[in-house]
Amino acid sequence: MLSANPTLPTLLGMDSRSLSAEQVERMRAAMLEQSQYLHRLIDRMVKLHWRVDDPVWITTFKARDAVDAMLREFVVRRKPGGRLR
Indicate the pTM of the whole model. Answer: 0.73
Per-residue pLDDT at 73: 84
Q: How far apart are CA 63 and CA 34, in angstroms?
A: 9
Residue type, 40: R
Residue type, 54: D
Per-residue pLDDT at 1: 42
Q: Where are the domains of the chain?
A: 19-76
* pLDDT tens-place values along the chain, 85 residues long: 445 555 555 566 777 778 788 888 888 899 999 999 999 999 999 999 999 999 999 999 999 999 999 888 887 776 666 666 6
50 near 57, Cβ under 8 Å?
yes
Question: Does residue 77 come out as left (phi exceeding 0), alpha (psi in the -120 to 50 range) or beta?
Answer: alpha
The closest alpha carbon to 19, from 78, 71, 76, belongs to: 78
Per-residue pLDDT at 45: 97
